[in-house]
């Protein structure tokens, strides 16, 4: 995304378009490993989803 504002708008559009308000992210790619970001406003459901995603990725890499 060209700016932080554009990224925030895109994330909010995806939240609405996803249905059931189920989104996973944001994820920061480009590092040696993906970085999962949890904001201070993250709900319990988002924390559980991000934890599950991290577990799946970790098991897939054999770490």
What digits encode the pLDDT tens for the residues 44-62? 888 888 888 888 888 876 5
Calpha distance 48→36 (Å, rounded): 12
The alpha-helical segments, DSSP class H, found in 1-63 are 4-17, 44-61
Residues 6+ apart with CB under 8 A from 15: 21, 23
pLDDT of residue 46: 82
pLDDT of residue 12: 78
What digits encode the pLDDT tens for the residues 5-54? 888 788 778 777 766 666 666 666 666 776 777 878 788 888 888 888 88
Omega before residue 26 within 30° of 0, cis: yes
Predicted TM-score (pTM) of the model is: 0.52
Calpha distance 11→8 (Å, rounded): 5
């Amino acid at each position: 995304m060209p700016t932080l504002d554009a990224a925030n708008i895109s994330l909010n559009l995806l939240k609405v378009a996803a249905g059931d308000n189920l989104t996973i992210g944001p994820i920061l790619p480009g590092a040696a490993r993906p970085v999962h970001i949890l904001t201070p406003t993250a709900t319990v459901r988002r924390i559980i989803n991000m934890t599950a995603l991290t577990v799946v990725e970790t098991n897939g890499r054999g770490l």
